[in-house]
Amino acid sequence: MITIDQIQDKIDNLNKPKGSLGRLESLATQICMVQQTLKPRLSHPCHILFAGDHGIQREGVSFSPREVTWQQMINYTRGGGGVNMFCRQHGFKLLLVDVGVDYDFPEKILATGITDTERKIVNRKIAYGTKNFLHEPAMTKEEWDRAIVIGSKQVDAWYREGSNIISFGEMGIANTSPSSVVMHLLLDIPLEKCVGAGSGLDEAGIQHKLDVLRQAVANYKSLEDRPPLWQYFCGLEMAATVGGMIRAAEHNMLILVDGFIMTACVLIAREINPDVMKCTIFGHCGDEDGHKRMLDAMGAEPLLNLGLRLGEGTGALCAFPIVQSAVNMINEMDNFQHAKITKYF
């Protein structure tokens, strides 16, 4: 078994001042520990984007209209989204999965198998969106369990293809609302510090969103027989992502984490399986109010801070070259002895 001391010894003997490559060194250590090797590698990177609509959107908590979910999914099949651009740039396979979009996609853009997923949508629809959690649970236990299995199976498929690093994205109008509630309830952070503008709400819109979510939380807390908060509030795309993250950790795959919504999914995943955290690399700190607070409360150190709030997993993809640099550092830099340089510490 590879130990942290062995990894640190290799890093400290690279021909550089001790600790001079900072975050790359701790990142390389994490990767070596996950992969249990002193010669880590990144193979077949895959990005899975799950999509689903939210019943809470009916309460006017999002600036974007509901139909943007399915419209953007079709846009992704044409290669026109931010997620497409970054996947192309960094060599990621993109997998689009419908688990709960309130729309029937045309057959011509639906995938027929794992080898037919480029610019196609995998149909794993559980429901046409979740229910409105202001009044009732977003989904049943059976729907939650189905979404978890779907997420797990998508990861299994890419693991079998040789992938050892994976990132997740989402498309679902209003999904910052359940993410804010998850943050509030699991981290005990005041709700008003968890709620932000999402896709572009003004101050009045943010206040309305906060009022709706406060009432939803109060309704949930008043129940005598409460289901798990993630089943009550989350979207189907979030549930599938949680399932995917848990399975990726079970396979010892590296998990590149995106912004506010995906960090909320990590928060849920670690409640179910704390081992998820050892595999997670937090790509960036987003511009959504509350994301930094969530990261800080989790003790997470993001790689980037670019003011991003697009979602789709784009921040995770942007961070990939830094992860690659950490791997290249430990594999390709010469050591003091071989380079015939005096080790002066």
- DSSP structure class, residue 128: S
Q: Alpha-carbon distance 29 to 36, whole Å?
A: 10
Sole residue written with tokens 């729907």: 143
Rounded to an integer, what distance in angstroms lies between the CA atom of residue 207 and that of residue 200? 13
- The separation between CA 271 and the C-alpha centre of its own chain, rounded to angstroms, equals 15
Cβ atoms of 95 and 46 within 8 Å: the answer is yes
d(CA 210, CA 60): 11
- For 34, 173, 214, 225, 252, the CA distances from 1, given in Å and listed in that order, are 11, 45, 49, 45, 14
For residue 201, CA distances in Å to 65, 82, 212 come to: 12, 21, 14
- 271 is known as an active-site residue: no
- Residue indicated by tokens 């979009």: 101
What does the alpha-carbon distance between residue 68 and residue 55 come to, in Å, rounded to a whole number?
Answer: 14
Place of tokens 């629809």: 125
Q: Can you tell me the distance from the alpha carbon of 268 to that of 51, in angstroms, rounded to the nearest whole number?
A: 18
What SS3 state is found at 256?
strand
Catalytic one of 143, 170, 288, 312: 312
How many Cβ atoms from other residues are within 10 Å of residue 10's Cβ? Answer: 19
Cα of 232 vs its chain's centroid, Å: 20
Supply the residues annotated as catalytic.
312
